[in-house]
A and B are shown apart, each in its own frame.
Chain A
Amino acid sequence: MDISVRKRAEVQLIQLRGQLRLGPAVDELRLVIEEALGSGDIRIAINLAEVPMIDSSGIGLLVRFLASTKQRGGNIKLVRPSKFAIQTLRLVGVLNLFEIFDDDDAAVESFA
Chain B
Amino acid sequence: MSAINLVEESIVEKTAGESESIASQTFPDEVILDIDNVSISYSGNPAVKHVSFPIAKNRITSIIGPSGCGKSTLLRSINRMNDFIDGVTVDGNFIYAGHNVYSSRIDPVEVRRNIGMVFQKPNPFPKTIYKNISWGPQINGFTGSMDELVEKSLRQAALWDEVRDRLHESALGLSGGQQQRLCIARALAMEPDILLMDEPCSALDPISTSHIEDLLFDLKSRYTIVIVTHNMQQAARISDYTAFLEMGDLIEFGITDQLFTRPNQKRTEEYVTGRFG
Task: Decide whether A and B assemble into one complex.
Answer: no
Q: Which residues of B contact A (CB under 8 A)?
A: none
